[in-house]
Amino acid sequence: MQLQHHPYSSLPSLPSRTVSLFLYISCLMAAIAQIDSRPKLTSVKALAERPGLSSIPSLYTFPRHPNEEVFSDTKESIPILDFSLLTSTDPHERSKAIQELAKACQDWGFFMVTNHGVPESMMKGITAACREFFELTEEEKAEFEGKHVLDPIRYGTSVNASIDKVLCWRDYLKVFQHPEFHSPNKPPSFREISLEYGKRVRKVARDILRGISESLGLEENYIEKALNLENGFQLLTANLYPPCPQPELAMGFLAHSDHGLLTLLIENEIRGLQVHHNGKWVNIDPIPNSFLANIGDHVEILSNGKYQSVLHRAVVNTRDVRISIAMQHAPAWDAVVSPASKLVGDEGNLPAFRAMEYKEYLELNQSSVLDRKSCLERVRNRVI
């Protein structure tokens, strides 16, 4: 008589191995599912586009600092640097421009740059390419999600979303431009326009940094040589600030200073940048096609505190999508930055900051929650 086999027991040794393999895989999948079930960070763009969104999640709500009242009506004369005078062959024009640059750096740390020669079409082109990037699908953009400050292409939300306690109403794309050029492969126009725009803006930045060198009483090419700007780090940051139903509770970009030497920023026609000046926040209303320039922490270090990096932030609004493109110009990664020796020593001026490799500073900056100028404070020499 034939034995009736259970269909699954007809293969003598395989079943138990198959079952345990099956169990193992299901456990693994369950574990992965659990990791996946943690709330995923959505882009603010996706959040803002949710139908009927009328209030913002508490994760985006900032407590306000009562003393930081904003004013915009006061006629503050924001410094303007006429770039054509700074690069003029007429020594009188140039020295006048350098004096104005010195004053702008000392009083504000912020100024607008006009007559810089970068074509308007190029500024529009890069803004359009960045907008197209943010309009890719969430899945497409997710390919570019970077984790580390040294990843050459990094798409993300807020500022440092893994450690931020409150999230900023901002998505961003950061792309290294120099000394090695990188570009996302989407949208297709991005590579060509960012390469060209990056080169043109770098030239403007280097000329301004020559002016800054001279204005500090240093040789014209001091910064260039001491910080190896031939291999200088240039970083493009595209910021997207979607409309926000409760802009008074949210913040596009928290108060911070930029870590490099000089940032040149452009925006679409939508306002939102505020600069801290004499203890108050000033709304910036740019001259069309100008660059909004601000000096960063490394000018403060190099000048031994004579020029201070400026605190700035971005606010959001209920109606319009705001896009800004900040181009940061910084020392070469392996350049060791310290106060220029000519600016220390006399009049009892001690070096206010300790020497540090630029790359180390970048990593230090990334490892902590963005908090005004706290990163710079960590390299300040304490008077004992």
**Contact present, 360 and 233 (Cβ < 8 Å):** no
Handedness of CA 83, 192, 139, 362 (dihedral sign): negative
**Amino acid sitting at position 332:** A
Q: Does 239 bind ligand OGA (CB under 6 A)?
A: yes
**Contact present, 223 and 209 (Cβ < 8 Å):** yes
Find the shortest distance in angstroms from Cβ 307 to ligand OGA: 18
Find the shortest distance in angstroms from Cβ 182 to Ni ion: 20
User: Which one of ligand OGA, Ni ion, none is in contact with 273 (Cβ closer than 5 to 8 A by kind)?
Assistant: ligand OGA
Size of the site for ligand OGA (CB under 6 A): 10
The single-letter DSSP state of residue 110 is E
Residues in the chain, overall count: 384
Per-residue contact string for residues 265-284; x = within reach of ligand OGA by CB under 6 A: -------xx-----------
For ligand OGA, the closer of residues 215 and 365 by Cβ is 365
Q: Does 127 bind ligand OGA (CB under 6 A)?
A: no
Which of 48, 85, 314, 330 touches ligand OGA (CB under 6 A)?
A: 314
For Ni ion, the closer of residues 258 and 297 by Cβ is 258
Q: Which helix (H) or strand (E) holds 280?
A: strand 280-283
259 contact partners, CB below 8 Å, separation of at least 6:
296, 297, 298, 328, 330, 361, 362, 365, 375
Q: Does 258 bind Ni ion (CB under 5 A)?
A: yes
Find the shortest distance in angstroms from Cβ 110 to ligand OGA: 11
User: For residues 284-313, which are near ligand OGA according to CB under 6 A?
Assistant: 312
User: Which one of ligand OGA, Ni ion, none is in contact with 177 (Cβ closer than 5 to 8 A by kind)?
Assistant: none
Three-state SS annotation for 20-56: HHHHHHHHHHHHHHHHHCCCCCCCHHHHHCCCCCCCC
**Contact present, 254 and 168 (Cβ < 8 Å):** yes
Give Cα 313 distance to the centre of its chain.
Answer: 11
Find the shortest distance in angstroms from Cβ 314 to ligand OGA: 4
Find the shortest distance in angstroms from Cβ 139 to ligand OGA: 25
For ligand OGA, the closer of residues 273 and 332 by Cβ is 273
Residue 125 DSSP SS3: helix
Find the shortest distance in angstroms from Cβ 297 to Ni ion: 11
Per-residue contact string for residues 319-358; x = within reach of ligand OGA by CB under 6 A: -----x-x--------------------------------
145 contact partners, CB below 8 Å, separation of at least 6:
154, 155, 156
Q: Does 267 bind Ni ion (CB under 5 A)?
A: no
Residue nearest to Ni ion (CB): 258
**Contact present, 133 and 43 (Cβ < 8 Å):** no
**Contact present, 211 and 101 (Cβ < 8 Å):** yes
Find the shortest distance in angstroms from Cβ 359 to Ni ion: 19
Work out the angle at residue 374's Cα, subtended by the Cα atoms of residues 371 and 376, and round it to the nearest 5 degrees: 135
User: Which one of ligand OGA, Ni ion, none is in contact with 314 (Cβ closer than 5 to 8 A by kind)?
Assistant: ligand OGA
User: Which one of ligand OGA, Ni ion, none is in contact with 325 (Cβ closer than 5 to 8 A by kind)?
Assistant: none
User: Which one of Ni ion, ligand OGA, none is in contact with 297 (Cβ closer than 5 to 8 A by kind)?
Assistant: none
Find the shortest distance in angstroms from Cβ 276 to Ni ion: 12
Which of 60, 108, 253, 291 touches ligand OGA (CB under 6 A)?
A: 253
What counts of helices (H) and strands (E) characterise the chain? 11, 15
How far is residue 255 from each of residues 31, 82, 93, 241, 329, measured CA to CA in Å?
Answer: 39, 27, 35, 15, 19
Residue of 307, 302, 300, 294 lying closest to 224 (CA atoms): 302
For Ni ion, the closer of residues 100 and 258 by Cβ is 258
User: Which one of Ni ion, ligand OGA, none is in contact with 213 (Cβ closer than 5 to 8 A by kind)?
Assistant: none
Q: Name the token pair of 334.
A: 């392996």
Find the shortest distance in angstroms from Cβ 265 to ligand OGA: 6
Q: Which residues of the shown chain bind ligand OGA in the complex (CB under 6 A)? A: 237, 239, 253, 258, 272-273, 312, 314, 324, 326
